[in-house]
Amino acid sequence: MNIRKNDSVMVIAGRERGKTGKVLRVIPDKSAAIIERMNLVKRHSRARGPQQPGGIVEKEASIHISNLMVMCDKCNAPVRLGKKILPDGEKARICRRCGEPLD
Single pTM value for the model: 0.89
Closest CA to 32 of 58, 71, 73, 60: 60
C-alpha torsion sign, points 40, 43, 47, 49: negative
Better-predicted residue by pLDDT, 29 or 103: 29
Q: What is the mean pLDDT of the chain?
A: 95
**Average pLDDT estimate for 48-64:** 95
Sequence-distant (≥ 6) Cβ neighbours of residue 18 within 8 angstroms: 10, 11
pLDDT at site 1: 80
Confidence of residue 103 (pLDDT cuts 50, 70, 90): confident
pLDDT at site 37: 96
Distance of CA 10 to the CA centre of its chain: 8
Q: What CATH number does the domain located at 8-47+55-95 have?
A: 2.30.30.30
Residue ranges of domains in the chain: 8-47+55-95
Q: What is the pLDDT of residues 78-93, one digit of tens each?
A: 999 999 999 999 999 9
pLDDT at site 84: 94
